[in-house]
Amino acid sequence: MKIWRVAVRTMSLVRAVYAAPLLLMVVLVSPTLAQNIVVVQKDKMFSQAEITLKVGESVEFRNDDDTAHSVISFTPGHEFELKLQRPGEGQAIAFDKPGRIEVECDIHPKMLLIINVQ
């Protein structure tokens, strides 16, 4: 019985020794992973009017509406267009240079989102 207990204790120690570097790796790697800010399209509006992110971070657009939306920017130097998003669809886009970007939906002209990339 005593041998069994020692074996169990040893196994726990082995597990802890292996788990510690893994845990440390997760802690060290996490800050370098780009953050994903979520913007929802609902009731023909973006969920936020303005967001701020760092260079390299991305925004995920999720259509929780009952109608399709586009996601498009005509801001000089920051032009982009995501494919038409039907209800339930989502897409992410990363921003790799600083700026103030106006994002619109060309189906619903009142939809506007300002993205500040720092």
Shortest distance in whole angstroms from residue 50 CB to Cu ion: 18
Element (H, E) at 12: helix 2-29
Closer residue to Cu ion, CB minimum distance, 46 or 57: 46
Bridge-based pairing state of the strands 112-117 and 50-53: parallel
Closer residue to Cu ion in complex, CB, 7/107: 107
3-state class of 80 per DSSP? strand
C-beta closer to Cu ion: residue 69 or 115? 69
Closest residue to Cu ion in the complex (CB): 105
Residues found near Cu ion in the complex (CB under 5 A): 69, 105, 107-108
DSSP 33: S
